[in-house]
């Protein structure tokens, strides 16, 4: 950001702060807002952002569009919203990792998840699944059995993840540490190519987002060996948790959260929070989310801020134990 852009942003923030709360609300209601997503159109985020945009249009802003800003594992979108005016018209939708995991894995980030943003609320949460395809013997049905197989076949004990340094990658590293098995991560460029290789048997297992593999597990084309949530998933109730299988520390769920730039007014945060709560409560929306393995998750802005800080702290010892440092 050059000096002119900085001064413009500063002036915009000062002008906004000078408005009365009802004037700010009116400016937003008459404005054009965007939900900036860190991932491509058509992905998981669209199942949340686009229906909410429809529900908030005319209530929060005159128009509300979803604007993908892809790249760098979501960091491009985060940095873009950091630079936006704090007028409530630029909303960041981002998974938890860029805000809680990345501060522990990257030596340097161009944003501070706490100082540069105001948490509004999470919208959904989702679990991961240790998933087996035809590359793993059919008799291996659980994570415990996979570990035994991996110890007997170390050269073949590979597992795929959609990105190096992702939360899914850390689930694999946590399983390796807890089991003592020699597991080798194979990092892909996204969930789609990974899914193709698991289905084709090129990689025996993957750690995948539940919604991506759920249809294939239900159809019998893949096997769920373990879910990463604390309790069994209502979407795959037959798949045991890692905890049930003796891996007490492997409890990982991600959330999709909404944030505003720092200095956004408390009134704006509360109004957006309330409208998201209303949208998430719609039965047809809950049903649509369930079809892709997503559970609504809403809380107050203050509680969400506590969750962000707690999740960031929780990742710190896990990353340290893994001796992992992310690289661009």
pLDDT given for residue 15 in this prediction: 47
Q: What homologous superfamily does CATH list for 3-126+254-322? A: Bordetella uptake gene, domain 1 (3.40.190.150)
Reduced to 3 states (helix: H, G, I; strand: E, B; else coil), residue 230 is: coil
User: In terms of C-beta density within 10 A (0-12 exposed, 13-18 middle, 19 or more buried), how is residue 152 classed?
Assistant: exposed
> Is 146:136 a contact under the CB 8 Å cutoff?
yes
> Is 240:142 a contact under the CB 8 Å cutoff?
yes
Confidence grade of residue 22 (pLDDT, cut at 50, 70, 90): very low
Mean pLDDT of 169-177: 98
Confidence grade of residue 161 (pLDDT, cut at 50, 70, 90): very high
d(CA 286, CA 283): 5
Instruction: Express each pLDDT in 50-77 by its tens digit.
Output: 999 999 999 999 999 999 999 999 999 9
- pTM given for the model: 0.90
DSSP string, 9-51: HHHHHHHHHTS-HHHHHHHHHTSEEEEEESS-TTSHHHHHHHH
Mean pLDDT of 224-252: 98
Q: Where are the domains of the chain?
A: 3-126+254-322, 127-245
> Is 157:133 a contact under the CB 8 Å cutoff?
no
Reduced to 3 states (helix: H, G, I; strand: E, B; else coil), residue 280 is: helix
Instruction: Express each pLDDT in 87-139 by its tens digit.
Output: 999 999 999 999 999 999 999 999 999 999 999 999 999 999 999 999 999 99
The CATH code for residues 127-245 is 3.40.190.10
d(CA 113, CA 77): 13
Task: Let me know if the fold of 3-126+254-322 is the same as that of 127-245.
Answer: yes
- Give 323's Cβ-side CA count (13 Å radius): 1
At residue 6, does pLDDT exceed 50? no
Mean pLDDT of 140-157: 97
pLDDT given for residue 28 in this prediction: 66
């Amino acid at each position: 950001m050059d000096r002119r852009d900085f001064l413009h942003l500063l002036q915009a923030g000062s002008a906004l702060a000078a408005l009365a709360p009802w004037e700010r609300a009116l400016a937003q209601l008459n404005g054009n807002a965007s939900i900036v997503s860190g991932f491509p159109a058509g992905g998981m985020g669209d199942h949340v952002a686009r229906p909410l945009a429809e529900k908030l249009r005319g209530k929060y802003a005159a128009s509300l569009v979803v604007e993908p800003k892809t790249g760098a594992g979501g960091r491009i979108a985060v940095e873009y919203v950091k630079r936006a005016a704090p007028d409530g018209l630029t909303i960041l939708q981002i998974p938890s990792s860029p805000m809680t995991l990345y501060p522990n894995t990257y030596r340097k980030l161009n944003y501070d998840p706490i100082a540069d943003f105001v948490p509004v609320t999470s919208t959904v949460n989702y679990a991961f699944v240790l998933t087996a395809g035809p590359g793993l013997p059919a008799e291996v049905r659980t994570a415990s059995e996979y570990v035994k197989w991996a110890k007997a076949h170390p050269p073949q004990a590979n597992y795929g993840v959609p990105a190096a340094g992702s939360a899914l990658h850390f689930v694999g590293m946590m399983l390796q540490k807890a089991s003592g098995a020699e597991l080798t991560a194979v990092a892909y460029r996204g969930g789609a190519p990974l899914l193709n290789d698991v289905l084709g048997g090129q990689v025996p297992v993957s750690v995948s987002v539940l919604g991506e593999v759920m249809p294939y597990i239900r159809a019998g084309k893949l096997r769920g060996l373990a879910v990463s949530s604390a309790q069994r998933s209502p979407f795959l109730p037959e798949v045991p948790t890692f905890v049930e299988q003796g891996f007490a520390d492997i409890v990982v769920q991600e959330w999709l959260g909404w944030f505003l730039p720092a200095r956004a007014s408390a009134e704006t945060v509360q109004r957006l929070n309330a409208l998201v709560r209303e949208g998430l409560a719609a039965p047809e929306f809950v049903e649509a989310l369930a079809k892709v393995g997503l559970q609504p998750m809403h809380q107050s802005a203050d509680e969400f801020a506590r969750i962000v800080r707690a999740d960031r702290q929780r990742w710190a010892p896990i990353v340290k134990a893994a001796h992992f440092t992310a690289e661009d």
